[in-house]
Amino acid sequence: MNIIFPMTSFDPDSISHRRVEDVLIDLPDDDFKAVRSAVRAELEEGLQRLVKLSEELGANEMREQSASETP
């Protein structure tokens, strides 16, 4: 599971985690690699959106500070 979802700890008590594990174990190698690639691409896209949002929030905060300092 960590190969596919490196940012998620496997929880053996989680029904969802066990279901995902069962599916991943039964996948042929090519399908497993395809799933891993798709998840990596989604993670990368999500991280890029997070960075963009963080930059926008930082820019908004700086504009607000400048506006409050202007007489």
Confidence bin at 34 (pLDDT 50/70/90): very high
| Mean pLDDT value of segment 19-35 | 90
Give the whole-angstrom CA distance, residue 68 versus residue 62.
Answer: 10
- The pair of three-digit structure tokens given for residue 3, joined into one six-digit string: 């190969």
CB 41 within 8 A of CB 4: no
Q: What is the mean pLDDT of residues 5-34?
A: 86
Helix-then-strand count for the chain, H and E: 2, 0
